[in-house]
Structure 1
Amino acid sequence: MNRSNIHLLDLPDEILLFILKNLNNIDILYSLSDINNRRLNILVQEVTSTNILKFVSIDNISIIDRFCNDILPRIRHNVKGFIFDPIFMERILLATDYPNLTKLTIHHFQKEIVSNYFTNQSSLRSIFQEQITNLILINDDENDMECLPDIYNENIYIHILTFFKNLKKLIVMELSVVSYPHLSLCCLPSTSFSSPILTHLYINVRDFDDCLFLLDGRLSKLTIFCVVVYHMDTLEQIVHNM
């Protein structure tokens, strides 16, 4: 066979799927979803059926426009998760209904997102409260920020665990080497940062006592617990019921 005459569509489905699965799914959907070939369209949608769509570091707004107006409504049943920057979050989530969406990863997360979107007045409330079971925050807030630690804990971490009614997995990660505000439960009620359904928690805490607080029964279903502890000192006068 003359190599110059080989076309992408001449390849068998297995090889096409292998190629497509090793490419960025956003690029695949944007570049190939409108090609007038039923076989290729089926393969493209099959590739995205088990993948999370990643909208991060996208400078061309026309890409977002096309996804929201055309592509996402067509593949909405296949979407199980999104990774995106906050600037695109509302538009993407409201572009169509996603009946199988359960996971969100928010890059460049900052405390303003909570007051703007994680509220009962938010247009995204039903998605957050009824569908999302897995939330990953790439926290861009700095640890030396002006907000007092107690206020940050109550307004951000405690509020998130209360607001997301079906949350089973919460991961808070650092965007860079600069650490984000850690969780500290000292002097807060034992009902603070509690959940009867959370099973996975990854977060930075202030000291070892916060680990003990988190294991005192307030997270009764917790099975996976991963923390970074900033100070290993403990408060001897505190009695923990383990």
Structure 2
Amino acid sequence: MSMDNSFVSIVDLPNEVLLNIFNKLNNFDVLYSLVGVNKKLDNVACDRTFTQFIDLTTISSSEKDDSKTNATLNRFCLHILPRIHNNVECLTVDACFLERILHSNKYFNLHRITLINLDVNRTSHIFNGIVLDLFTLKKYQISELVITIDYEVSSISMLILLIDIYHRIFVLLSNLKYLDLDVNNTYLFSKSLLSGLSSTTCVSSSITHLRIKLHNFDDCLCLLDGRFNQLHTFIVKLEYIHDPSLLRRTPSEIIHNSSILLNNTLGLQ
């Protein structure tokens, strides 16, 4: 048998096999490479089971002003997303590209957004714009938010911006059920991130899962004061406790507030 006769083209493979292969690859790379190339591969790549979770992190924010990056995003937004936008349930994207992606199409089934490399200097712009609409308009059902802030918080002005991020999330995003908020870089300030956040103005009371990084023990107590009465999972990372006396000052308050979380957890069983 000749090599020509024994060769099996990828387009001859069953759809199920193709999907198994595609699922081992980054779906952005698959979509960008195959959509518009071959009808069968095109249809399989745009299958709902493959396009529910879109990961755009292979597009680097360090190249956001690069002409090649802009051309890549233009093709994806104009020619690929219109084919799959109703399938997308979870979106992972560098924060600097979020607005461009969201403006390009409507995502009526989108319920989870993961933002990486959020620049604290652009927070107000992001949360006052289309992202706020996504979380507040009833036609959108965004209930899960994951944010990673990689920028170094090296000054008081940067810390103030970081505090603003935390406040906006807890006050403005009323439909959240799952929140994962992480600051990758250690900052050397003891100021509370949640100071001034009144429990009466905190409207994210529907949160059931909260994972957060903090540097102030009072913030932990704030989050367990009963404002999140649906909370059943609370994961907190404390890099450093600036005032260890707080651990001795309020043990009864810690126990009381923790019992609220325990009761919510037991209620799930």
Tell me if the contact between 1:55 and 1:82 (Cα under 8 Å) persists in the aligned partners: no
User: Quick one: which amino acid aligns to residue 198 of structure 1?
Assistant: I
Q: 2:98 maps to which residue?
A: 89
What's the offset of the Cα at 1:84? 1.5
Question: Deviation at 1:222?
Answer: 0.9
Contact 1:56–1:83 (Cα < 8 Å) also in 2? no
Cα deviations by residue, 1:197-217 (Å, 9 ceiling, x for unpaired): 011111112244432221110
Offset at residue 69 of structure 1 (A): 0.8
Residue 234 of structure 1 pairs with residue 246 of structure 2: yes
TM value normalised by structure 1: 0.84
1:147 and 1:192 mapped to 2: Cα distance?
24
Task: State the Cα deviation string for residues 145-192 of structure 1 (Å, max 9, x = none).
Answer: 32275x4465220211111121111111244xx326886446754446
> Secondary structure of the residue that 1:234 maps to in structure 2?
helix
CA distance in 1, matches of 2:236, 2:37: 47
Which of 149, 154, 158 does residue 167 from structure 2 map onto?
158
Alpha-carbon distance in 2 for matches of 1:56, 1:167 = 27
Which residue of the partner structure matches residue 15 of structure 1? 17
8 Å CA contact 1:56–1:107 kept in 2: the answer is no
Question: Which shows bigger deviation, 90-99 or 205-214?
Answer: 205-214
The residue type equivalent to 2:106 in the other structure is: D
Question: Aligned equivalents of 2:193 and 2:79: distance in 1?
Answer: 44
Task: Give % identity.
Answer: 33
Residue in 1 that maps onto 2:133: 126
Aligned residues: 236
C-alpha distance in structure 1 between counterparts of 2:202 and 2:186, whole Å: 21
Structure 1 pair 94–190 and aligned structure 2 pair: CA distance change class (3 A): closer
Distance (Å, rounded) in 1 between the aligned partners of 2:176 and 2:199: 19
Per-residue deviation, residues 8-40 of structure 1 (Å, max 9, x unmatched): 112222321111111110111011110232x32
Q: CA deviation at 1:233?
A: 3.9
- The secondary structure found in structure 2 opposite 1:219 is coil
Within a 5 Å distance, the mapping from 1:42-81 to structure 2 comes to 42-46=43-47, 47-58=49-60, 59=63, 60-81=69-90
**Residue 95 of structure 1 aligns to which amino acid in structure 2?**
S
Letter in 2 for 1:41: D
Secondary structure of 1:77 counterpart = coil
Q: Is the 8 A contact 1:69 1:95 kept in 2?
A: yes
Point out the structure with the larger helix share. 2
CA contact (8 A) 2:56 2:94 kept: no
Any conservation in 2 of the 1:157–1:183 contact (CA below 8 Å)? no
Q: Which residue of 18, 27, 30 maps to 1:28?
A: 30
C-alpha change, 1:234 and 1:148, in structure 2 (3 Å) is farther
Displacement after TM superposition at 1:117 (Å): 1.8
Distance 1:7 1:139, change over 3 A: same
Residue by residue over 1:81-127, the C-alpha shift from the partner in whole angstroms, topping out at 9 and shown as x without a partner, is 221122211111011111111111111112223211212xx244321
Which 5+ residue runs of structure 1 have no aligned equivalent?
Answer: none
- Are 1:20 and 1:28, in contact at CA under 8 Å, matched by a contact in 2? yes
Change (3 A) 1:152 1:65: closer
> What is the root-mean-square deviation of aligned Cα atoms in Å?
2.7
Cα offset, 1:64, TM superposition: 0.5
For normalisation by structure 2, the TM-score amounts to: 0.76
